[in-house]
């Protein structure tokens, strides 16, 4: 996996991604503390609103932004997005009202919705060999998982020395470093034969490719499975840890760590798994693991919350959900690369970015709003949703004979 870092362009881009991720992790901690300072016990509502705004930006702004910047040089797009994110991070310490948080988060996440698909669509051009690209995907997934585990620890260490407002400066430094690395890196040239489509012609391109490509319809169904499994972990872990099992703050950290460890285990092994089995079968297996985890969560919630075995069983379940999520998400980008062309790749990646996050607009309310009434009902509904999407994904594989290269080693 590490050998892809021998490529100097990818090495610089990967380092830029890591620094930006670290900055984002510090932002998450600092934003929670800022929300509590401004709203007190209503901080949860502030963060919930900010999360909703984030998803709206990802779903609504990403396709618009991609269509607007698709003909611009990738370097300018990436640096421009990082500059906007840097400016927002520098502005957050000056916030005095909750509405200002909402405005700044919308701007920042709109910039991220521009940066991330453009960044992801660039990697296949840097690493055209499918095996190298798969290893790069695994390395990228590893970076995401390590950020989720390490950022809170780094933030906690920094908070012993400085106030939380200084974490925003760390966030700004991460985005600035990312922009500098992109600036000094020589990126692949744009395709010379890019068609001169209008904005309105480019806007639906990614969705049209998804609609007519069987492999991408398969990816869309796996997005639903991933969203179901991720929602129960991100939304309800704190409820299980503090409310159901009546444990301390460290229990929440342990639950999320188990989810991250499961994802890490798979990310380290995805390259050889894909080399041996292709892309589709591991993704189906990952979807099945998520469904098993959701069914286990429903069973634990209904039968074992009052027993000593309930909490350890939940930790194992969260590990399984993390493994399944990584086994679906890591190889899926290879399908995007092979189902797109250099001319439409950015728009296809943007469509996946928007569509995958749109699934969370369904699963987050199930996990959160329904979960506030009944955790068991939420777990059952998510399990049913995931099972239905898995069945549809398996059926969809029968219509994917037009994409045999995905199973080549």
pLDDT of 32 reads: 67
Q: Please state, in angstroms and rounded to a whole number, the distance separating the CA atoms of residues 277 and 200.
A: 40
Left if phi > 0, otherwise alpha if psi is -120 to 50, otherwise beta: which for 95? beta
pLDDT in tens, 120-170: 778 888 888 877 877 787 777 677 766 666 666 676 677 777 787 888 898
State the span(s) of the chain assigned CATH 1.20.1250.20: 1-188, 204-400
| pLDDT band, residue 222 (cuts 50/70/90) | very high
pLDDT of 403 reads: 46
Phi, psi of 349 (to 5 degrees): -65, -35
Q: Please state, in angstroms and rounded to a whole number, the distance separating the CA atoms of residues 152 and 36.
A: 17
> 3-state secondary structure string, the chain?
CHHHHHCHHHHHHHHHHHHHHHHHHHHHHHHHHHHHHHHHHHHHHHHHHHHHHHHHHHHHHHHHHHHHHCCCCHHHHHHHHHHHHHHHHHHHHHCCCHHHHHHHHHHHHHHHHHHHHHHHHHHHHHCCCHHHHHHHHHHHHHHHHHHHHHHHHHHHHHHCCCCCHHHHHHHHHHHHHHHHHHHHCCCCCCCCCCCCCCHHHHCCHHHHHHHHCHHHHHHHHHHHHHHHHHHHHHHHHHHHHHHHCCCCHHHHHHHHHHHHHHHHHHHHHHHHHHHHHCCHHHHHHHHHHHHHHHHHHHHHHHHHCCCCCHHHHHHHHHHHHHHHHHHHHHHHHHHHHHCCCCCCHHHHHHHHHHHHHHHHHHHHHHHHHHHHHCHHHHHHHHHHHHHHHHHHHHHHHCCCCCCHHHHCC
Just give the CATH number of 204-400: 1.20.1250.20
pLDDT in tens, 243-291: 888 887 678 778 878 888 898 888 888 888 988 998 999 999 999 999 9
pLDDT in tens, 289-318: 999 999 999 999 988 877 778 999 999 999
pLDDT of 47 reads: 62
**Residue 212 corresponds to which tokens in the numbers above?**
């007519």
Query: Could you say which architecture CATH assigns to the domain 1-188?
Result: Up-down Bundle (1.20)
pTM of the model: 0.76
pLDDT in tens, 337-352: 788 777 777 778 778 8
Phi, psi of 257 (to 5 degrees): -65, -40
- What sign does the CA torsion over 73, 74, 80, 83 have? negative
pLDDT of 39 reads: 74
Rounded to the nearest integer, the mean pLDDT of the chain is 82
Short-list 5, 121, 105, 115, CA closest to 55: 105
> Which of 105-119, 235-249, 370-384 is most confident?
370-384
């Amino acid at each position: 996996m590490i050998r892809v870092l021998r490529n100097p362009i990818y090495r610089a881009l990967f380092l830029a991604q890591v620094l930006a991720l670290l900055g984002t992790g510090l932002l998450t901690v600092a934003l929670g503390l800022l929300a509590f300072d401004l709203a007190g016990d209503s901080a949860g509502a502030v963060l919930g609103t900010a999360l909703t705004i984030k998803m709206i930006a990802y779903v609504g702004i990403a396709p618009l932004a991609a269509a607007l910047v698709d003909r611009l040089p990738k370097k300018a797009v990436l640096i421009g997005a990082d500059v906007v994110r840097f400016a927002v991070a520098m502005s957050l310490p000056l916030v005095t009202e909750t509405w200002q948080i909402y405005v700044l988060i919308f701007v920042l996440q709109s910039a991220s919705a521009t940066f991330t698909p453009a960044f992801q669509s660039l990697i296949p051009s840097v690493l055209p060999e499918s095996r190298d690209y798969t290893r790069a995907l695994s390395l990228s997934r590893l970076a995401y998982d390590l950020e989720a585990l390490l950022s809170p620890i780094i933030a906690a260490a920094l908070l012993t020395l400085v106030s939380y407002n200084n974490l925003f400066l760390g966030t700004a430094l991460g985005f600035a470093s990312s922009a500098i690395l992109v600036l000094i890196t020589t990126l692949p040239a744009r395709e010379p034969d890019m068609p001169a489509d209008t904005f309105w012609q480019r806007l639906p391109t990614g969705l049209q490719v998804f609609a007519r490509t069987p492999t991408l319809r398969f990816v869309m169904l796996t997005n639903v499975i991933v969203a179901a499994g991720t929602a129960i972990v991100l939304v309800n872990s704190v409820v299980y840890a503090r409310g159901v099992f009546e444990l301390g703050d460290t229990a929440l950290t342990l639950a999320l760590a188990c989810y991250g460890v499961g994802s890490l285990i798979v990310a380290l092994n995805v390259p050889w798994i894909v080399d041996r089995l292709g892309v589709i079968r591991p993704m189906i297996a990952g979807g099945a693991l998520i469904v098993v985890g959701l069914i286990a969560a429903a069973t634990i919630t209904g039968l074992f919350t009052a027993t000593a075995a309930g909490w350890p069983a939940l930790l194992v379940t969260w590990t399984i959900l993390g493994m399944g999520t990584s086994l679906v998400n890591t190889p899926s980008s290879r399908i995007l690369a092979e189902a797109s062309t250099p001319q439409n790749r950015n728009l296809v990646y943007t469509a996946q970015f928007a569509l995958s996050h749109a699934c969370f607009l369904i699963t987050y309310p199930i996990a959160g709003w329904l979960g506030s009434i009944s955790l068991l009902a939420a777990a059952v509904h998510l399990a049913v949703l995931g099972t239905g999407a898995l069945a549809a994904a398996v059926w969809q594989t029968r219509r994917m004979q037009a994409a045999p290269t995905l199973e080549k080693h």
